[in-house]
Each structure stands twice: as C-alpha cells, then as structure tokens.
Amino acid sequence: MLRPFLWLLVFLFVCLLAGCSGEENSAQAKPNILLVLSDQQHYQARGLEDASFETPSLDQLARQSRVFSHALVTTPQCSPSRASIYTGLYPHKTGIPGNTGSTLADGSKVIGLKEGIRTAGSYFKEAGYFTGYIGKWHLGPVGNHRKDYDVGAFDTIRGGDATTDEEKTRKALKFLDQLPSDRPFALFLNYVEPHNIYDYGWKHPPEPLPELAKNMTLPDSYYREDFSTKPAAQKQYMETGPVRRFLHAGEIIWKSYRGYYRQRVRHFDEQLGRVLQALEAHHLEQNTIVIVTSDHGDMDTRHRLVYKGPFMYESLVRVPLLIRVPRAYGGLPAGSDDGLTINVDLLPTMLDFAGLQPQGLDGHSLLARLTGKSSAAPDFVISQYQNKQKWNHPMRMIRTQRYKYVDHLVGLDELYDLRNDPEELVNLARDASSADLRETLSQRLQQWLEQQQDPFHDLSATDPAGRRMNPTTTGKDRIPPVTDPPGG
C-alpha cells in the first residue's frame, strides 16, 4: 500500500529538483529576452494614453507589464539612439553622434560604430544564448557584429529598410519556430513603423486625407505656439527643406498628418500582436522577458512642428517603455513606474536578468525596480543632440522629474517647469525669477559633461546648409539666416 505513495514522493522530489513544481518555477534558469523596437513613436502614442490611437496589442501588454511613464532617450534620432540601446553607451562614445551618413561640422561623415564597440548580441551569445537580430540596423556597416547573432536579418539601407514590417514579423515567427531546446534566446526585433510618417508630406506636398483627418483634433500647443520665446532653430526648421510645406498649410493638412501617424502606429501594433501571439503559441510567455519601446518620438503637430528636428520637447525625447517580467524571475504585478529612466539602461537591464553585469556601460539596470527590490530612480537624465543631415545644432538636455533645461551651443536656451507647464509653452530661460534654478541645472549638467568627457563645448555649429557659422554671429541669442536650404 505504501509503494504508490513512495513513488509519488520520489516524483515530487525529482520534479522539485527539475524546477517544475508550480508556475513560479516553470521557467528555465535564464530568461529568454525579446526586445521589440518601433521607430519614431512618442510616449502618448498608444490607446491607453490617447484614445485617438488604436493599439490593442500594446494596451494588452501594458496591462501585463511595468509601464515606465518617464522613459527618455539619449538622443531624439534613429542611429545614435539605437546605438545607445544596443551598446549601453551615450552617443558621444559610440562613434554615432548623429544619423549615419549625416555630415558633421568639420565636413566628416558619420559612418558607424567605433571599432571594438560591443552590441547586445555579443554579450548574450557569449553567455550561451541563441541570438537573433531582425530589421532596422542603421548603425553603419554590420561587419564583425554579424557573428554575434545566430540569426541575422539586418536592414542596412541608410534611413530606411529593405524589407516590410510584415516580412520582419515573418522572420521573427520563423526564429521562434526554430529555437534550440537547450538554450535560452535573445531576439532583437526592429520595426520601421511609425517612421513611415515621412511618406506624408516629405517627398511630395501634403494633401488632405479627409477620412484620416475627420476625427482628429489638434493639440493646444499647435494653437498657442508662436516661437517668440523659443530658440530660432525651431521656426527655422519649419522654414527649411520639405518641412516648409506645412508652415502655411490649413488645419486639414495638420489633422491629416495626425491621422496618418496614427495609421502607422496601428500598423506597428498589428505586427507586435502577431509576435506576442506566437510567443504564447510556443508556450514561451512564462520564461520570456518582453520589452517594447521606441528609439525616439515624433512631434505629431505639437508646437506646430512635425517629424523630428533640433528640439528636445517631450514628444520627441519621451517614448513608451513596457517591460513584462514573468513571476518566475521576480516580476512585479502590472503597474506604473513613474521614476525617470533612459534607454541606455535597457542593455544593462537585459544583461542583469541573464546574470551578466559587464563594466563600463553608461546605463543602470532596472532589475531592482522591476522586481520590487528597490524603487530608487535617478534624480535626472541627460539627452544629447548633434546634427540633422548637414545642419549641426548641438544641444544638451538635463531632465529632472519636474524641470527641463536645454543648453544650446548657439541660440537661446530653454527652461521648462513640466509640472505647471506640461505643454512646454513657457520658456523660463530669460525669467529673472528662475535664474537660480537655471544656474543649478546648468551646473549639474556641466558636472555630468565633465564626468562623461562629453565634448559638447568643443563642438561647432553650422547653418542648415552645412556652412560653418561665423564666430562673430554665434552668440547664444541668434542664428544666421539660411539662403540655400537643403532638401531631405
């Protein structure tokens, strides 16, 4: 009579050793990692933040994740921001201070990652992971980085992709179908949407899209922004190249822009949903950490601005960040984390969950905040900006929970009280009553620049055509006019 009972005890003991006794022990020793990156999606571009967006996949994931409501980027541009995500380093260290192919003030081109810089795949493959990279690379020549990924489908066309997002999804599903049974995986999936907002109004003059525009409203800052207290570069951006087509356009055009942007976000959400469904179909959701974020935002008509350019508004530097950590790896219940974080933190976080803590990275792991071991967040984060095509307009931003100060190498600086002025309409940089605050933030920024050996004050500025600015006209309050604005 005791024999069946003894066999049951043996079974339970073996099961315990194998880690199969209950949901929290159902995962492998190291978690799988899935990072999904959209392109040019601002922090409010999802349905739970703004009902004008239709994003059921993102919304469902948000209900299962820690949602970081103040996630910022090291720079509001594709190449340098992606370099920060995949190397854990700030742009001035990666060799990619601006988009690849762009021109620096000294006439040299931004080529790609510096020799010897490691990307995420290098760390994970060395740790025994099955690694995959699919989609937009935008970090220059792939070169030796290719060997760090067991599956590599790199789109390397500068500023664009060789394959559609549907094709990226197909490749991701194939990756999941072919996983080895004896290794955890790390998949880095890079979509192009909603970057295809550039299909509206960039190559051709924008035309009314009544069906997309009919339910759109324009933000308050669209009506209230007059650029009178803002850096001259902002209005100059709207007067330069293809963007000037929007400058005097009617509201139907601006509403069409917003409608088209929401259409592109919805397309990304559809692809994300297919991947998450496949993850569940393979029964991988209980041992896979899922991270969804974007490389930077889009102005989305706020401040009468479109696309991205030489500005540090929240719509451009603040992005969605959703991280779902299974209970087996200590994940907290779904909820919001309102502390600051920046995308240079993502690689240290992923590596920390894999048991790796490499030295020399600029970011800090979020593991403690994701597992409830600590809620401590940084007092401030820093963002950088160098150039757009030929236009070099270096900026550095320090962002605390309440305040934002933007130091422009040339032109008027910016200072905003985000608590009382979330639309960033009132620039306090010249406000005498804010002089002490500005000085405090400026000093804190300067300390960071020195600690990080950021060459900001040694950089040079140009006009949009790439012409070096005359030293006699590069004061903090003016930018010389452009007589030959470039396209693109």
Q: From first to last of its 488 residues, what are the pLDDT tens digits of the chain? A: 445 454 545 444 444 444 443 333 345 799 999 999 999 999 999 999 999 999 999 999 999 999 999 999 999 999 999 999 999 999 999 999 999 999 999 999 999 999 999 999 999 999 999 999 999 999 999 999 999 999 999 987 655 577 999 999 999 999 999 999 999 999 999 999 999 999 999 999 999 999 999 999 999 999 999 999 999 999 999 999 999 999 999 999 999 999 999 999 999 999 999 999 999 999 999 999 999 999 999 999 999 999 999 999 999 999 999 999 999 999 999 999 999 999 999 999 999 999 999 999 999 999 999 999 999 999 999 999 999 999 999 999 999 999 999 999 999 999 999 999 999 999 999 999 999 999 999 999 999 999 999 999 999 999 999 999 865 444 554 433 333 333 33
For residue 442, being part of any structural domain is answered with: no
484 in any annotated domain: no
Could you give the angle at the alpha carbon of 192 between the alpha carbons of 191 and 196, nearest 5°?
A: 150
Asked if residue 343 is part of any domain, the answer here is: yes
56: CATH: 3.40.720.10
In a domain, 444, yes or no: no
Q: Is the pTM of this model over 0.85?
A: yes
Residue 9 lies in a domain: no
Domain that residue 104 falls in: 30-383
Residue 236 · residue 197 · CB < 8 Å? no
Residue 426 maps to a domain? no
Spatial distance between the Cα atoms of 352 and 304, rounded to a whole number of angstroms:
41
Q: Is residue 180 part of a domain?
A: yes
Domain count, the chain: 1
Q: Is residue 148 assigned to a domain?
A: yes
